[in-house]
């Protein structure tokens, strides 16, 4: 009986062992966790990158080149700015110009010119015209032309700017008109010292006032600080005259220029002997 019970127990154990082995997945890992069909695992949300708004793009403008600087017109030759007849242009004509007056020498100048029967062009200073209004009247009465040579003749003041030049010219024109009458037209200007007459801004001032400017082509140098002798002035004049057909002669009317009166009388005689006639400057 005991032997039969031992055989039955061994057989039962063997059967249970074989049944368990048949239900094991041969590919399963001992550490694998079987997911329940009802379990939901949390889904990782990818990190959001904040949007960056790019800065506005400025429209690109095509650079506009600056306008070309206008080329100033070439200066008109001095002689072409003076009104002449065809006969005068073909011949020999002298234009005497006298700057800086009137002064105490003006009566002597006028008397000499009257005696020579010569008309000239006076470029007067406004301040001197105010001081000697009667001399301005005498110049005009003798048939000479009166032009403008600024009011002060002080370079730093006149040429501080185009506006200051304009003030000087207008002031002097008004002084002359107050003496000779409002109908008297001043159309000629001479730059003191000959400065700025190549500067378009300063030339434009003269043009805008309805005037023109006139330089010279002969300078006997009677404007020096020391008094030059009559002979020295005449020699310098002749050294520059040569065969020039239309000399525009620069002389001065000032209290210390009495030799200028004497030298000019000699120059007139020499010019007349060489076949020159004389005229005043007028605009074409």
Tell me whether residue 279 is one of the annotated catalytic residues.
Answer: no
Residue the block writes with tokens 């006997």: 220
**CA 183 to CA 106: how far, in whole Å?**
24
Tell me whether residue 132 is one of the annotated catalytic residues.
Answer: no
**Among the options 99, 212, 253, 279, which is catalytic?**
99
**Among the options 149, 252, 253, 279, which is catalytic?**
252
Nearest-CA neighbor of 249 among 270, 219, 228, 212?
Answer: 219
Q: Are 218 and 244 in contact (CB under 8 A)?
A: yes
Q: Are 252 and 100 in contact (CB under 8 A)?
A: yes
**CA 132 to CA 279: how far, in whole Å?**
25
Find the distance separating the first CA and the last CA of the chain, reported in whole Å.
167
**CA 4 to CA 22: how far, in whole Å?**
28
Contacts of 132 (CB under 8 A, 6+ apart): 101, 102, 103, 106
Contacts of 116 (CB under 8 A, 6+ apart): 265, 268, 269
Longest CA pairwise span in the chain (Å): 190
Per-residue b/e over 44-80, b at no fewer than 16 CB within 10 Å? eeeeeeeeeeeeeeeeeeeeeeeeeeeeeeeeeebbe
Catalytic residues: 99, 252
């Amino acid at each position: 009986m005991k032997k039969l019970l031992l055989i039955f127990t061994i057989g039962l154990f063997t059967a249970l062992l074989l049944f368990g082995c048949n239900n094991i997945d041969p590919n399963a890992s001992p550490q694998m966790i079987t997911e329940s069909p009802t379990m939901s695992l949390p889904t990782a949300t990818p990190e959001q990158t904040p949007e960056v708004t790019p800065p506005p793009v400025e429209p690109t403008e095509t650079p506009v080149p600056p306008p070309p600087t206008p080329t100033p017109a070439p200066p008109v030759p001095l002689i072409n700015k003076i009104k002449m007849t065809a006969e005068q242009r073909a011949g020999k004509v002298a234009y005497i110009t006298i700057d800086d007056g009137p002064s105490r020498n003006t009566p002597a100048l006028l008397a000499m010119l009257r005696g020579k029967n010569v008309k000239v062009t006076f470029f007067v200073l406004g301040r001197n015209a105010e001081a000697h209004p009667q001399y301005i009247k005498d110049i005009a009465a003798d048939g000479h032309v009166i032009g403008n040579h600024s009011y002060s003749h002080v370079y730093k003041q006149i040429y501080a700017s185009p506006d200051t030049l304009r003030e000087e010219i207008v002031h002097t024109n008004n002084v002359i008109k107050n003496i000779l009458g409002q109908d008297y037209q001043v159309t000629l200007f001479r730059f003191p010292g000959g400065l700025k007459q190549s500067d378009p801004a300063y030339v434009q001032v003269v043009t805008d006032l309805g005037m023109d400017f006139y330089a010279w082509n002969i300078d006997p140098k009677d404007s020096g600080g020391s008094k030059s002798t009559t002979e020295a002035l005449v020699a310098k004049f002749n050294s520059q005259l040569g065969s020039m057909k239309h000399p525009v002669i620069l002389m001065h009317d000032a209290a210390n220029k009495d030799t200028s009166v004497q030298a000019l009388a000699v120059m007139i005689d020499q010019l007349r002997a060489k076949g020159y006639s004389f005229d005043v400057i007028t605009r074409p």
